Homo-oligomer: A and B are copies of this chain.
Amino acid sequence: MADSAIATPHPADNAEHVLSARVDKAALIEKLTAELPAETVLHAHEDLTPFECDGLAAYRQVPMIAILPDSIEQVQTALRICHANDVPVVARGAGTGLSGGALPLDNGVLLSLAKFKKIVDIDPQNRRATVQPGVRNLAISEAVDHLGLYYAPDPSSQIACSIGGNVAENSGGVHCLKYGLTTHNILQIEIVTIEGERLTIGSHALDTPGYDLLALMTGSEGLLGVIVEVVVKLLPKPELARVAMVAFDDVRKAGNAVAAIIQAGIVPAGLEMLDSPAIIATEEFVHAGYPTDAAAILLCEVDGTEAEVEEHIADVREVMEREGAVDIRISRDAAERALFWAGRKAAFPAMGRISPDYYCMDGTIPRKALADVLIGISELSEKYGQCVANVFHAGDGNLHPLILYDANKEGELEATEAFGGAICELCLEHGGTITGEHGVGMEKIDQMCVQFPEPELIQFHAVKAAFDAKSLLNPGKAVPTLHRCAEFGAMHVHNGDLPFPDLERL
């Protein structure tokens, strides 16, 4: 931590050496297959292409080798061999991540947890379940449904994404406003370190003495260890849930209504916003009954007992009317509630129908800045000449602007990335962060240099070194090297302003 000079290589820049190191593929295969079943070690090109990208498909790279262990002991063996041979390792769950966190390395091993699909234990009395990391998010709730329980965090990809990846990314979802992120809904994990050591982190009890390594591991994007088992908390299913679909003729009014709802002391189970482009595309696709002439709609769900829901729905109606809503519809039954949500959940695929490609951003801002930031994004959209649709977790201030583009048109991807970068910095200017729930991965690595000053980055690297001194786990992701930030800064610094000449202060 003491040395803040970045002219000479810093220990915090280990990842760069790892990324450029040469590895003898044949020798490594021999070492791996000597200790692991041959069928778990894949190295032919055609076997490796399924792993070439995750949900951020704009980045692709075939790994040198893929390993598919089916026991914790095999994970330990694989990591021990990689560590001994200085081979970088990228762990992969379901591959649904949106920031490229599971992008392989051409000189590295891709460690897939796909075979870890077992629900190990369900304990309704203590409301917890022990599951392997490859278990799908939704499969947990399905497995405990008959007990009247569910697992709360519900990323849009919950039908496909796996719990190990949820922990690695600290995933959220529509209902995390009331029920918290992944970090608030897990009790204990088993991890294997890069040295092959198995550690139990957290406990079955409320709080655990010692440093909170459970929270530290959660959202660490595969850089500190490989998750091989997860104990999740289960919640009782609410007796009733109703959703209000509220239309506004002005984005600013909708943004202000979000802040007003929260300020009124209502804690909705979910509070989502769609702007006009998102409403139109979604309605054409799903026919959820959204008013296509609205500038924005809010979906505000309230859950609990029947009495509680009725009272809160009345409060929601009152606040929305006061904030200038032009139309308020309350779901009359479970079917209508599902229909209202169907639009929101299909919003991303709906965009895919009207644009060849889209790029999903993930900035988080304080709620009171919502209106200003939405207007700022719209101004940036005009400036960059690219369309943007907004569909997001408004109650959390977690934006998901979707920039529409065509990757086949020369320069459009680059322009989109620049526009996306400008949105990130706009969030930072309003006291926000560059990512809410999708992680930094490859995608936001440069923006990390903007969000964090050097002392904080050095502290991140010191923590990394406490788990993985050689920087072999997922190098090049999540936390930028100081060298990368220095280069990035050198390219962009301009008149001492934010290092983004393209961004005018709004």
Binary flags per residue of A120-144, CB closer than 8 Å to B gives 1, else 0:
0000111100000000000000000
Q: Which of B183, B204, B459 has a CB less than 8 Å from the CB of A199? A: B459
Q: Nearest CB to that of A260 among chain B residues?
A: B125
The reply on A215 being an interface residue by CB < 8 A is yes
Tell me the minimal C-beta distance from A345 to chain B in angstroms. Answer: 20
Tell me the minimal C-beta distance from A186 to chain B in angstroms. Answer: 12
Q: Nearest CB to that of A444 among chain B residues?
A: B209
Q: Closest 6 CB pairs between A and B?
A: A236-B265, A215-B215, A307-B307, A462-B466, A308-B308, A205-B364
- Which of A166-216 touch B at CB < 8 Å? 170, 172, 180-181, 183-184, 193, 195, 197-201, 203-213, 215-216
Residues of A that sit less than 8 Å from B by CB: 1-2, 124-127, 148, 170, 172, 180-181, 183-184, 193, 195, 197-201, 203-213, 215-216, 218-220, 223-224, 236-237, 259, 262-265, 304-308, 310-312, 364-368, 396-398, 431-437, 439-440, 444, 448, 451-453, 455-456, 459-460, 462-467, 478-479
9 contacts between A and B (CB under 8 A): A124-B263, A172-B206, A200-B456, A206-B398, A207-B435, A207-B436, A207-B437, A210-B440, A463-B463
Is the pair A209, B466 in contact by a Cβ cutoff of 8 Å?
A: no
Q: Which of B204, B259, B433, B465 has a CB less than 8 Å from the CB of A203? A: B433
Is the pair B183, A1 in contact by a Cβ cutoff of 8 Å?
A: no
Known: A193-B1, A200-B456, A466-B463. A478 touches B210 (CB 8 A): yes
Tell me the minimal C-beta distance from A184 to chain B in angstroms. Answer: 7
The interface residues of chain B lying within 8 Å CB-to-CB of A127 are 262-263
Central interface residue in A1, A368, A434, A459, by most chain B CB within 10 Å = A459
- A479 to B180 Cα, complex, angstroms: 29
Known: A398-B206, A466-B459. A197 touches B1 (CB 8 A): yes
Tell me the minimal C-beta distance from A463 to chain B in angstroms. Answer: 5
Is the pair B451, A209 in contact by a Cβ cutoff of 8 Å?
A: yes
Is the pair A433, B236 in contact by a Cβ cutoff of 8 Å?
A: no
- A208 to B218 Cα, complex, angstroms: 12
- A465 to B464 Cα, complex, angstroms: 11
Number of copies: 2
Q: Nearest CB to that of A466 among chain B residues?
A: B462
The interface residues of chain B lying within 8 Å CB-to-CB of A365 are 205
Q: Which of B207, B433, B456 has a CB less than 8 Å from the CB of A205? A: B433
- A265 to B303 Cα, complex, angstroms: 13
The interface residues of chain B lying within 8 Å CB-to-CB of A444 are 209
Instruction: Other than A170-B212, A206-B396, A466-B466, give 9 A-B pairs with Cβ distance below 8 A.
Output: A125-B259, A170-B207, A183-B212, A205-B397, A206-B397, A207-B436, A209-B435, A212-B218, A307-B311
Is the pair A452, B368 in contact by a Cβ cutoff of 8 Å?
A: no
Known: A305-B308, A397-B205. A199 touches B455 (CB 8 A): yes
Chain A contact residues: over half helix, strand or loop, or mixed? loop
- A218 to B224 Cα, complex, angstroms: 19
The interface residues of chain B lying within 8 Å CB-to-CB of A259 are 125
The interface residues of chain B lying within 8 Å CB-to-CB of A213 are 216, 459-460, 463
Tell me the minimal C-beta distance from A55 to chain B in angstroms. Answer: 17
Is the pair B212, A431 in contact by a Cβ cutoff of 8 Å?
A: no
- A360 to B197 Cα, complex, angstroms: 36
Tell me the minimal C-beta distance from A268 to chain B in angstroms. Answer: 13
Is the pair A210, B452 in contact by a Cβ cutoff of 8 Å?
A: yes
Q: Nearest CB to that of A204 among chain B residues?
A: B431
Tell me the minimal C-beta distance from A457 to chain B in angstroms. Answer: 8
The interface residues of chain B lying within 8 Å CB-to-CB of A237 are 265
Q: Nearest CB to that of A393 among chain B residues?
A: B206
Central interface residue in A206, A307, A311, A435, by most chain B CB within 10 Å = A206
Known: A308-B307, A440-B210. A366 touches B193 (CB 8 A): no
Q: Nearest CB to that of A263 among chain B residues?
A: B125
Known: A2-B195, A205-B433, A308-B304. A211 touches B368 (CB 8 A): no
- A230 to B359 Cα, complex, angstroms: 36
- A448 to B218 Cα, complex, angstroms: 23
Is the pair B170, A433 in contact by a Cβ cutoff of 8 Å?
A: no
Q: Nearest CB to that of A149 among chain B residues?
A: B265
Tell me the minimal C-beta distance from A144 to chain B in angstroms. Answer: 13
Known: A210-B478, A218-B212, A452-B210. A432 touches B204 (CB 8 A): yes
Tell me the minimal C-beta distance from A371 to chain B in angstroms. Answer: 12
Q: Nearest CB to that of A238 among chain B residues?
A: B265
Tell me the minimal C-beta distance from A198 to chain B in angstroms. Answer: 8
The interface residues of chain B lying within 8 Å CB-to-CB of A199 are 455-456, 459
